[in-house]
Amino acid sequence: MFSKLTESIRGPARSIRRVLPYLWAASPKWTVLSTAFIILEVVFGIGILYLLKMLVEVLTTKLGEGAAGVENLGEVWLYVGLTGLASVLFLAARQIGNWAREAQGLHVSDYMNRLIHTRAVAADLAFFESSEYFNTLHRARQKGTNRPALVVTHLLMLVKSAIMLVAVVALIFTISPWLVPILLLVVLPPLGARLFFTRRLYEWEKRRTELERRAGYLDWLITFYLHAKELRLNRLGNYLRDRFSGFRETIRNERLGITRQRTVMEIATGLIGTLGFFGCLAFLARETAYGRNSLGDLVLFLLVFQRAQTAGQDLVQQISSIYEDHLYLNLIFQFLEVEPRIQSPKQPVKLNEQWQQGLRFENVSFQYPGTDSGVLEKVNLEVRPNQVVAIVGSNGSGKTTLIKLMCRLYDPTEGQILLEGTDIRDFDLDEYRQQFGVIFQDFTRYYDSVRENIRFGDIGLAPDSTLVPDAARRAGADKMIDALPLNYDTLLGRMFEGGHEISVGQWQKLALARAFVNRSRLMILDEPTSALDPNAEFELFESFRERLAGRSAIVISHRLSTIRLADYIYVIENGKVVEQGQHQDLMREKGYYHQAFNRQGKHYQEARHSVLQP
Ligand code: ADP
């Protein structure tokens, strides 16, 4: 019990200490200004109270003295003037403070977003491929990235309310010491109740993240333009809308349930407060009736008690806000603490410009984190300089996984991958990844200009680099770009104003150009022509080696016309290399490859036959 209590004080204190460096780093200027103005606000606020008290004293003691009263008018003017001045300064400090707090909030929010982005960029691919990632990120962002800025405001407000409360309690103590414990009775229960519900709401929100994200996903499906076609044709709109409403209803009901309980609790604590107040009033009335207290004390109590209640409520509010800040800040810290497992070594081995030996998999096995069965088993594979290697296999056999390991998006569970005879974990990560120009099956469509879509393959290039049109030519995308309204400057996709939509095959050609622009040693093409028409595919592979310009290549494809081009072919089934060799060798083996090749060949021949002889 005691340790729980100390932890509930230490925890927030720790969060506050941790957050200060972030505030300072985000904007030292606005942090100082917003703190300075809140202090000024408190100073002027208390100053006004003090001056008012002095003014009332002067008015009551010195003005009622006839001619002498008139002589004291100067002092009255002085206090009136000073109180007025303090009021103006108080207002100015409050307004400028609001401005400084807003500026600080915006700076901090942008700074935190930048930190979150930095972490997201550095995180492992494995992190993105787990739902835990999305939950952590969603939680970190949902509660506002400007929360660190709020901590200072809440902290200073807490000090302000505490000072006010102490002043008022001291005043009440002078009326009767008995009133003080009753006052505590009024302040403490609401504090307990508030803290309890802050924690409950937080726990509930944490549990609800997944559901919120599901609802958000449905919202995206319903409103984003990419899904509009299927949604209409399959008449999914109303169904998805109702599911969305279902999720929202669950969330709403649970949330309102907590609010209902809190209302009951607040009425109860309010009742205690009211009973306390009237109990005190009855006690004071009795004391006054018996002549043990003055009527003035009674009046003072009536005036001050409410102030004590307000100061108490403010204090409770600030404490619960700080507690809430602490809980949500922890979520942001949790995200910022995620360290990538795949990192560069401290002393990386230097990579040669040209490959002499190439890349080799040695008994590589792999299992995705968080799953319980292996995807690759003891794979041995080699890509030599200037060699074109094809990887063939049915869906889900592990081909893409192999590529992910090759690019060091994951590290093998067992075995090793060697480049030029050195384990790839010994190279600098960025330098190593620059060895590859990759087009994945699920390549990205950037809603940006054509030029950027290609240049993103090597962001080190100048925007007007001639390598961009050169890559477009290699990928066979040049003619299509020439036909676009603004050529390389055409904005693609319908996402933004003035955007121009292109076909799936055209997007794929741009992705191919993006892989070609990279000054890599190895091109990896995962189903690179799945959306290309046969002519485009033929043109690409007809002069493929010339287009590669001395690079090696790995091509994953189901089209055997493409695979025939390769110098060497690996057939992968269920995560194992089951056949390997050149086309003729594999045909002779009469295994998987032979069967697949014959099946496709048969279709081609039948198709040709039916076209020629209808
Ligand atoms: P291919 O490219 O040959 O079609 P993949 O390499 O994509 O096959 O997938 C191989 C197997 O690994 C599949 O059974 C798939 O379910 C599993 N898999 C792929 N990606 C992941 C992932 N991120 N997490 C867990 N399992 C995965």
Task: Identify the residue whose C-alpha is closest to ligand 1 atom 21.
Answer: 368
Q: Which residues contact 119 (CB under 8 A, 6 or more apart)?
A: 335, 336, 338
pLDDT over 90 at 88, yes or no: yes
pLDDT at 612 over 60: no
Taking CA atoms only, the protein residue closest to ligand 1 atom 1 is: 396
CA of 486 to the centre of ligand 1 (A): 39
CATH of the domain at 451: 3.40.50.300
Asked if pLDDT for residue 351 goes beyond 70, the answer is yes
Check residues 130 and 69 and name the one with the higher pLDDT: 130
| Residue 169, domain member (yes or no) | yes
Q: What mean pLDDT value characterizes the chain? A: 82
Look at phi and psi of residue 369 and say left if phi exceeds 0, alpha if psi is from -120 to 50, else beta.
beta
Regarding the beta carbon of 153 and ligand 1, being less than 6 Å apart is answered no
Q: How far apart are CA 180 and CA 139, in angstroms?
A: 42
The Å distance, Cα 411 to ligand 1 centre, comes to 15
For ligand 1, the distance from its centroid to the CA atom of residue 368, given in whole angstroms, is 8
Q: Is the pLDDT of residue 182 over 50?
A: yes
Atom of ligand 1 nearest to the CA of 397: 3
Domain stops at, among 336, 358, 380: 336
User: Is 286 contained in some domain?
Assistant: yes
Mean pLDDT of 333-344: 82
CA of 398 to the centre of ligand 1 (A): 6
Beta partners for residue 576, in sequence order:
573
**Helical residues (DSSP H) of 176-236, grouped into ranges:** 179-223, 228-233
Domain limits for position 114: 12-336
**Of 94-108, 137-151, 559-573, minimum mean pLDDT range:** 137-151
User: Which residue has the CA at smallest separation from atom 25 of ligand 1?
Assistant: 368
Same structural domain, 449 and 307: no
Verify that 332 and 445 share a domain, yes or no.
no
Is 400's C-beta closer than 6 angstroms to any atom of ligand 1? yes
Query: Which of 372, 375, 395, 555 has most ligand 1 atoms within 8 Å of CB, for mutation?
Result: 375
Q: How much is the average pLDDT of 559-586?
A: 85
- Compute how many other C-beta atoms are within 10 angstroms of the C-beta atom of residue 256: 10
Q: Which pLDDT does position 66 carry in this prediction?
A: 60
Same domain, yes or no, for 323 and 472? Answer: no
SS (H, E, C) 77-97: HHHHHHHHHHHHHHHHHHHHH
Which is higher by pLDDT, 296 or 551? Answer: 551
Task: Return the HEC string of 451-520.
Answer: HHHHHCCCCCCCCCCCHHHHHHHHHCCHHHHHCCCCHHHCEECCCCCCCECCCHHHHHHHHHHHHHHCCC
Q: Where residue 244 falls among pLDDT bands split at 50, 70, 90?
A: very high
Query: Structural domain tally of the chain?
Result: 2
Residue 136 falls inside a structural domain:
yes
Kindly state the average pLDDT of the residues 85-106: 89
Atom of ligand 1 nearest to the CA of 125: 23
- Compute the average pLDDT of residues 459-468: 84
Instruction: Please indicate, yes or no, whether residues 316 and 448 belong to a single structural domain of this protein.
Output: no
Q: pLDDT digits over 309-318, tens only?
A: 777 778 878 8
Are residue 207 and residue 318 in the same domain, yes or no?
A: yes
Q: Does the pLDDT at position 67 exceed 50?
A: yes
Sign of the CA dihedral running 446, 447, 448, 454:
positive
- Note the pLDDT tens digit of each residue in 368-406: 988 888 899 998 999 998 889 999 888 888 999 999 999
Judge if 331 and 443 occupy the same domain: no
Residue 305 maps to which CATH number?
A: 1.20.1560.10
Q: Are residues 213 and 73 in the same domain?
A: yes
Q: Are 329 and 450 in the same domain?
A: no
pLDDT of 610 above 70: no
Residue 326: inside a domain: yes
**Does residue 464 sit in the same domain as residue 328?**
no
- Compute the distance between CA of residue 473 and CA of residue 477 in angstroms, rounded to an integer: 6
State yes or no: pLDDT of 87 exceeds 70. yes
Which of 13-27, 175-189, 333-347, 422-436 holds the top average pLDDT? Answer: 422-436
Query: 3-class SS at 547?
Result: helix
Domain check: are 273 and 135 in the same one? Answer: yes
| Any domain includes 431 | no
Q: What is the pLDDT of residues 502-552, one digit of tens each?
A: 888 888 888 888 888 877 889 898 877 767 777 777 777 777 777 888 888
Neighbours of 457 (CB within 10 A): 24
Q: Is the pLDDT of residue 260 over 90?
A: yes
Asked if residue 547 is part of any domain, the answer here is no
CA 553 to chain centre: 36
| Residue that is last in its domain, among 289, 305, 336 | 336
Residue located nearest, by CA, to atom 13 of ligand 1 = 396
Label residue 366 by pLDDT band (50, 70, 90): very high
For residues 332 and 448, state if they share a domain: no
The pLDDT score that the predictor gives to residue 613 is: 40
566 in a domain, yes or no? no
C-alpha span between 418 and 232 (Å, rounded): 50
Would 79 be classed as within a structural domain? yes
Which domain-ending residue is among 501, 519, 537? 519
Predicted TM-score (pTM) of the model is 0.74
Atom of ligand 1 nearest to the CA of 129: 23
pLDDT average, residue stretch 133-154? 72
**Residues 319, 445: one domain?**
no
Separation CA 345–CA 359 (nearest Å): 19
How much of the chain, in percent, has pLDDT values that exceed 70? 91
